[in-house]
Chain A
Amino acid sequence: MTDAVTTDAVDTGDHACLTFTDAEERLDLVAAFVRDGLRSGQKVVCWTDTISPDGLADELTARSVRPRAALRRGQLSIAAVSGSLLGPADVTAVGMVKVLAGEVATAGREGYRGLRVTADMAWATRPLAAAGELMAFEAAVTGLLGEGRLCLICQYDRDRFDAVTLAFAAKAHPKTVAAQVYFEHPLLRICRQYSPPGVRIAGQLDYRHRDILEQALTESTRLDRHMHLNLAGLDYIDGACAGVIVAAAMRLPASRRMTVTCRRAVATVLDLVGGSAAASMRVQQAHEQQP
């Protein structure tokens, strides 16, 4: 098992495994991977399974990536994994490697300096899926990466794959991609968000984790010109922590912004501790939802 890196640390020639437990984390990392690929002039291919190609395009849009224009000019391609990587007939490792090699060749012909591919491997967890072929594919793909034109991130849902497959996946991939997590507990998760860049907090946050909140905000203040605080999954915040967020916004110079996405209960507390008086702070209402 390798140490986890963030998506900005993967480049052409890399074969990385993205393991995740919640959909937000996966989509955030995928969005950052797509965004960085498009920005650096590479071709980007997303093979999706858990959600439809249209759904994935919408999720990318929601995360500050603009997929539509890239889709139109052919720099980005989003397709269901069945019908692309998996092909029409029996799923075989050889067939999948061939599909991938075809994409590398096409991207080269189209003049792109590299190809980024991300594939949702959830298909292999369905009954009668050729899970063995997935393992063979992950091992066989190394040959393609040696040419230095391909970067591949394979997505594995930790809740859906068995421990044996996950252990194999970790071994078959030279790199592991994961979000930087500041705090992880069943009732509170504080992690870095990559697209749009900032911090994501879910669960319940009070004065007992104020130090970790301050650490995450300090890091985001240092790294991100405009900070995005994704609190859509936050059920509760106390005045102490809301005060920390508002104070961080007030310390930003006038040219920088902090955008907070949260539900009504959290917005109420942010407003009461002075959020509306912080000129650089914008609060967006997230959909009321049960986490």
Chain B
Amino acid sequence: MSSSPDPPASRSRRRRSAAQAPEVVDVDHSFDANGLYALRATLAAHASELGATDQQIEHLIIVGSELANNAVRHGGGSGRLRLWHHGSTLYCQVTDQGPGIADPTVGHSRPDPRSSDAGRGMWICRRLTTELIIENGPDGRGTVVTAAIPAPKIRQPGPDALR
């Protein structure tokens, strides 16, 4: 991906530490439309295990679900969600094999509720995250969206979880 000339990829190079999932993650979960309930339950259970507060868990579920819904609806019908934590931040990354997100700046303004859904999910995600990185795959196939959710109270990883 580092050879990709497009702006999102070059942005991702700068933010490699945030956008790149570590080898050891807290959750690695494939999903499709029928797996969205299970995905939310998994996110809640793991975030709770990490010591996140109820509100942080709510935000994680909202963000993770919007990204997963996007993957199912616009990204080829299925995807993969990875959750990890670093310092006092939870990272939630959703990967799909869809046609990519044409506008990586989507969701910076609130869509009118009376108009279509377009951009609403990303708007929600941007409001609940400190960072939202959208990367399109090479050749315009696939999207990786990485969201950072502040969670100051989460349990710090032990040495074996650090890479």
Contacts and interface: CB of A to CB of B under 8 A. Distances in A.
A274 interface: yes
Interface in B113-149: 113-114, 117, 120-121, 123-124, 127-128
Given A206-B65, A207-B73, A246-B113, A272 B55 contact: no
B121 to A, nearest CB: 5
B32 to A, nearest CB: 12
B127 to A, nearest CB: 5
Nearest to B110: A274
Interface string A251-291: 10000000000001100110011100010000000001000
A240 B69 contact: yes
A9 interface: no
B161 interface: no
Nearest to B40: A236
A280 to B, nearest CB: 13
B26 interface: no
B59 A187 contact: no
Nearest to A187: B37
B133 to A, nearest CB: 19
A273 B116 CA distance: 12
Interface string A214-225: 000000000000
Most buried by A among B54, B55, B73, B117: B117
Contacts of A144: none
B33 interface: yes
Contacts of B61: 236, 265
A204 B110 contact: no
A206 B123 contact: no
Nearest to B114: A247
Interface residues of B, number: 26
Contacts of A251: 114
Instruction: From A239, A247, A250, A273, name the one whose CB has the most chain B CB atoms within 10 angstroms.
Output: A239
B96 to A, nearest CB: 16
Contacts of A246: 113
Interface in B20-42: 33, 36-37, 40
B120 to A, nearest CB: 4
Contacts of B127: 272
A257 B37 CA distance: 32
A187 B36 CA distance: 12
A36 interface: no
Most chain A C-beta atoms within 10 Å of own C-beta, residue among B111, B113, B128: B113
Contacts of B40: 204, 236
Contacts of A208: 33
Nearest to B73: A207
Contacts of B33: 208
B73 A264 contact: no
A246 B113 CA distance: 6
A197 interface: no
Contacts of A273: 110-111, 113, 120, 123-124
Nearest to A267: B58
B124 A272 contact: yes
B103 interface: no
Contacts of B59: 268
B62 interface: yes
24 contacts: A187-B37, A207-B73, A236-B61, A236-B65, A238-B65, A238-B69, A239-B66, A239-B120, A240-B69, A240-B121, A243-B113, A246-B113, A247-B114, A264-B55, A272-B110, A272-B124, A272-B127, A272-B128, A273-B113, A273-B123, A273-B124, A274-B110, A274-B112, A278-B113
Interface of B: 33, 36-37, 40, 54-55, 58-59, 61-62, 65-66, 69, 73, 110-114, 117, 120-121, 123-124, 127-128
Given A239-B117, A239-B123, 9 more contacts: A206-B36, A206-B65, A207-B69, A207-B117, A236-B40, A240-B121, A247-B114, A264-B58, A268-B62
The 4 closest A-B pairs by CB, nearest first: A265-B58, A246-B113, A239-B120, A247-B113
